Amino acid sequence: MQIFNNVKQAQDWCKSQKSSGKTIGLVPTMGYLHAGHLSLVRMARQKCDIVIVSIFVNPMQFGQGEDLDKYPCDLKRDTELLENEKVDAVFAPLVRDMYPEGYSTFVQVQGEITDKLCGASRPGHFQGVTTVVSKLFLICQPDKAFFGQKDAQQAVIIEKMVRELNFPLTIVRGPIIREADGLAMSSRNVNLSEEQRKQALILNQALLAAKKEIMAGQRDTEILKQGMRKMIASQPEAQIDYIEIYQADELKDIKEIVGGKIIMALAVKFGNTRLIDNLTVEV
């Protein structure tokens, strides 16, 4: 397994793979890998000749007062996990190489799609995401790039960026991978206390309860959101950021569910740890 820290070396290696006719699958991560990341790696292995995983905690997508300094990192652990998965290359650049002194070029998807959900409470977050992902695409030159459904808004925004900027690649989404008790896997879960970890189970439980209501005929999104809010607020350490229901493909606002796919998305803090989760339902 190749490990690259240098941007040009990684780019040259990817160019050589492409010139030999091989397809490249990229799995972008911020490291501290879990089973959700590894499921994307396995998808990439099935669909592409070469698999490269990027590990980069992108400071540009963290706002002031967020958990950049507390974000878990363990490159040795991550590379061992990836070697076991027979990944071909790891790209783990330094911040100064991705954003050299005087860096001033940004990629931004504008409009309602980035202003809601995580974009509303984390201004500038998605500009940081789309900028770094664009750079990773240009460096690694993937034919397919793999993203998890847990970050559903991120996936929709990146798909839009790829479409509108004519990136020559396909975005592939992998399903949310959950712990046995239903908690969505996240690198941030390690920051939860034992009690917070127990309380966080309410997130998936609230989503499933709302799905049950939809299947029973409830179509008023406000009533559904109120029900989820009441359930989550029953946990003493839960601090709700948002609970929303949108049309799934483009995150359009809906007041009443009339058919098709909808997504229920939420973000909740337990102590200083912010968790997100979502559930797609087809009506």
Pairing status of strand 238-247 against strand 170-174: unpaired
Name the CATH code of domain 2-174 (choices 3.40.640.10, 3.40.50.300, 3.40.50.620, 3.40.47.10).
3.40.50.620
Domain ranges of the chain: 2-174, 187-278
Specify the DSSP element, H or E, that contains 109.
none
Q: Is residue 157 within a helix (H) or strand (E), and if so which, with residue range?
A: helix 152-165
CATH (one of 3.40.640.10, 2.40.10.220, 3.30.1300.10, 3.50.50.60) for 187-278: 3.30.1300.10
Query: What region, left, alpha or beta, does residue 145 occupy, with left being phi > 0 and alpha being psi -120 to 50 degrees?
Result: beta
Catalytic site includes residue 125: no
pLDDT of residue 171: 98
pLDDT for 184 equals 98
Q: Could you tell me what percent of the chain has a pLDDT over 70?
A: 100
Average pLDDT per block of 10 residues along the chain, 283 residues long: 97 98 98 97 98 97 90 96 98 97 97 94 95 98 98 97 98 97 96 97 98 97 98 98 96 94 98 97 95
- Per DSSP, the residues of 114-136 read HHSTHHHHSTTHHHHHHHHHHHH
- Hunting for tokens 């479409």 — which residue is that? 163
Q: Tell me, what's the pLDDT at 169?
A: 98
Kindly report, residue by residue over 118-144, the tens digit of the pLDDT: 999 999 999 999 999 999 999 999 999
Which entry of 27, 29, 32, 37 is annotated as an active-site residue? 37
The amino acid at 54: S
pLDDT at 95: 97
